[in-house]
Amino acid sequence: MPKKVLVVGSGAAGTAAAFSLSRCPEKFDVQVWEKASVPGGVACSSEIKGGVVINDGVQGGCPTYRNVLNIMREFNLQTSPVHMTISFGKGKSAWTNYAPSDLTENLRDDIARFEKVLKIINKFEAIFIFLPIAKVLKWYGFSEDFCNYMVFPLTALFFGTGNQTPYVSSAIMARVFLDDDLRLFDYDSKRLLSQTPEMFAFPKLQDMYKKIMDNCGVHFHGNRSVSKVSRCPGKVTVTDHSGKVEEFDDIIFACDAETALKVLENPTFMERKALGNVRYFNDLIITHEDEDYMKKYYELHKDIDQYFIHIDEKDPEKIEMSFNLTNYQPHLKGKNQNIYQTIYLNDKLRSIWTEKDLNPDKVLLRRWWRQFAHSWHHYAFVVPLVRYIQGKQNTWYCGAYTLINTHEIATISGLSAAHRLGAPYPFPDDKLAAKQFDQYLLVIHGQSRQFGLNKTTILSFAMAPFMLLFAGLSLLVNFLHTTFFA
């Protein structure tokens, strides 16, 4: 008899988990409960004036998103190539990744030296992963202009880190440039960035996720949220928002950590720590066509740039981000209008947002977005603990928050949860996809896809005592911090 599995959430992680499980219908009977009416999670589409549909929240990815691309191919979903063009700052802080600038010329010494520091960080990653990028830059004596006008804006762009950018793990930043499988740019020792790397844009996300969910053979329930999850040996009892109760053999939480912790009845000590230590921030996304606003706060090359970074003059560590959706989303190209999207980061800093300068008549859509930041805290008190809550009481966890906030990691996390339940990894013949999957599986699940004493398995067993020790130390530090220094 097939095992009855509930997947909570249908974003990238939940959809990937459902897809993988659905490939074994003789083993799994899968339901997906989604609080929205359609699948996709934060990867959604919205209709603005004139019936125009925009992708909202997620725009695309890079060619190394092999698991995402493989799933899309399974359902004949096409991507569109784009070349990443970015305009950072304005006036004295202005620079781009496609042309020389006064700023990059003035900061050439810092740029050249930063490459050497990144290599040191990468070599000693196990230490630097717990050190915020701002602290490392200060230790090595980099100028404030280099930190505020180049490194922090670039970090915010890569990870969508809100105004927590100075606290992002330095090791994660090094990966962007030095990891052969994941890097977006080759480091330029004179200009930092000097390429427009090929990326891809998603098709309409509402159509993409609906097609996957409709055709992967699972039972999708839109407008159905979870209100309570109780567990006893071998069974998971789930109550939905209307009070209806169903029993499952296993549950996969593919939602945010806050929701999972909120609905769990009697969460374990480790669940409270791992999920409770994920720090979320509220961002406001406004879609608009206010070109005067864009010219005021950005160096606007409206026919070229896709990304724009605004740096607050009074506090350069504070950042806002904008996109020219017309230059990114393929179904918008050729239209006689430029549609912009501006993200205002961290509502606790709303007093410094430039939102007030937007012409209300030019605003097309407003939406709040809640996301986590890649601070050192995340890699000290969340990531090392997640492996110890996987599978406990028939409960599994996936989502970008388990490691890094990218669409690819969210997808891999869903595939990993399905794999732990017994669904074979779908793409073993794609070496890069499989490599990324195996690395995630080892770090977040402490497992190897292969059996026997191969290198990965030996490494996993060798790491286990150190990870347990580290987890204990992390909890001790967290306890001391919250008890004596809060």
326 with 305, same domain?
yes
Average of per-residue pLDDT values in the chain: 88
161 pLDDT band, cuts 50/70/90, is low
Q: Are 399 and 424 in the same domain?
A: yes
Domain with 448, as residue range(s), is 3-43+205-279+376-484
d(CA 345, CA 410): 22
Do 221 and 154 belong together in one domain?
no
Indicate whether 185 and 115 sit together in one domain: yes
Name which residue leads in pLDDT, 435 or 182.
435
Residue 288 and residue 273 share a domain: no
Q: Does the residue 64 lie in any domain?
A: no
Residue 63 included in any domain: no
> How would you label 472-484 residue by residue, b for 16+ Cβ within 10 Å and e otherwise?
eebbeebeeeeee
Indicate whether 309 and 321 sit together in one domain. yes
Choose the final residue of a domain: 350, 372, 394.
372
Residues 127 and 236 occupy one common structural domain: no
**Whether 94 and 213 share a structural domain:** no
Looking at 372, 387, 409, the residue that finishes a domain is 372
92 and 169 part of one domain: yes
Q: Are residues 332 and 459 in the same domain?
A: no
- pLDDT of 179: 80
Q: Which of 372, 395, 421 is the last residue before a domain boundary?
A: 372
The answer as to whether 71 is a domain residue is: no
Work out the pLDDT band at 176, boundaries 50, 70, 90. confident
Nearest-angstrom CA–CA distance, 18 and 268 = 26
- The token pair that represents 12 in the structure block: 């990238």
Please name the residue ranges forming H helices in 38-107. Answer: 66-74, 102-106
Residue 290 and residue 169 share a domain: yes
Q: At what angle do helices 170-178 and 152-159 cross, to 10 degrees?
A: 80
Q: Which residues of 431-442 are buried (b: 16+ CB within 10 A; e: fewer)?
A: ebbbebbbebbb
Residue 98, SS3? Answer: coil
The whole-number pLDDT of residue 250 equals: 98
Query: 3-state class of 196 per DSSP?
Result: coil
Q: What is the mean pLDDT of residues 222-235?
A: 96
pLDDT tens digits, one per residue of 406-429: 899 999 999 999 999 999 999 999
For residue 275, what is the domain's CATH number? Answer: 3.50.50.60
* Residue 368 CA: distances (Å) to CA of 55, 161, 261, 402, 407: 15, 15, 21, 22, 19
Q: How many domains does the chain have?
A: 2
| 189-211 pLDDT tens trace | 999 988 888 899 999 999 999 99
Range in 194-198, 201-205, 253-257, 335-339 with the lowest mean pLDDT:
335-339
pLDDT for res 237: 98
**Residue 209 falls inside a structural domain:** yes
| Phi, psi dihedrals of residue 296, rounded to the nearest 5° | -70, -40
Highest mean pLDDT among 15-24, 198-207, 343-352: 15-24
Distance CA 377, CA 315 (A): 23
Shared domain check, 189 and 103: yes
